[in-house]
């Protein structure tokens, strides 16, 4: 009897082969971290303030340009986000339903239900620049500063 179980995708070798087929000669160097920056929660989620971080951008104003971290309000969740320049399986899914990848309304309900303490007034859009140096030296510190200013206890990264 054949085994019809789906097999895991070997993402890194597959991506490397894909870019080589496109003509890139230098392989992408994947980030590796010996230590994780994560820590134990200092208080229960029901008392914590959550910051949401996404790789989608608020609009196409930065299309084709060097992008930077930006913020948007969580008070009224956006009806659309700019995702055209991001890569995902566009035949299998779409990004027309913003709530499917930016769970602001769901988190607001968690606050109302008492499961989550509160939500920061802003959410963060971090560009997908594929530069570890840009991410480590510029984007991540900007997000950390914003989270501290917004008094976030925890953060939810929702990449596309």
The answer as to whether 139 is a domain residue is: yes
Mean pLDDT of the chain: 85
The answer as to whether 5 is a domain residue is: no
The answer as to whether 49 is a domain residue is: yes
The answer as to whether 44 is a domain residue is: yes
Number of domains within the chain: 1
- Look at the alpha carbons of 129, 130, 135, 137 in this order and tell me if their dihedral is positive or negative: negative
Neighbouring C-beta atoms of residue 150, cutoff 10 Å: 19
Q: What is the span of the domain harbouring residue 96?
A: 34-158
Give 83's pLDDT tier (boundaries 50, 70, 90): confident
Neighbouring C-beta atoms of residue 48, cutoff 10 Å: 15
Closest to 67 in 3D by CA, of 146, 142, 7: 142
Task: Read off the pTM.
Answer: 0.77
**Which spans in the chain are helix H?**
11-21, 104-112, 132-134, 140-149
The answer as to whether 6 is a domain residue is: no
The answer as to whether 150 is a domain residue is: yes
Phi, psi values for residue 133, rounded to 5°: -60, -45
The answer as to whether 10 is a domain residue is: no
The answer as to whether 103 is a domain residue is: yes
């Amino acid at each position: 009897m054949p085994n019809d179980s789906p097999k895991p995708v070997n993402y890194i070798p597959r991506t490397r082969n894909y870019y080589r087929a496109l003509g890139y000669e230098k392989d992408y160097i994947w980030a590796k971290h010996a230590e994780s920056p994560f820590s134990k929660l200092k208080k229960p989620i029901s008392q914590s303030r959550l910051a949401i971080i996404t790789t989608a951008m608020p609009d196409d104003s930065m299309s084709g340009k060097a992008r930077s971290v930006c913020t948007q309000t969580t008070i009224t969740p956006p009806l659309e986000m700019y995702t055209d320049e991001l890569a995902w399986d566009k035949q299998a899914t779409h990004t027309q339903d913003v709530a499917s990848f930016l769970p602001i309304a769901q988190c607001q309900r968690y606050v109302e239900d008492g499961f989550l303490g509160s939500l920061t007034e802003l959410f963060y859009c971090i560009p997908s620049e594929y530069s570890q140096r840009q991410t480590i030296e510029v984007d991540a510190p900007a997000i950390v500063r914003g989270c501290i200013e917004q008094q976030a206890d925890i953060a939810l990264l929702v990449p596309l």
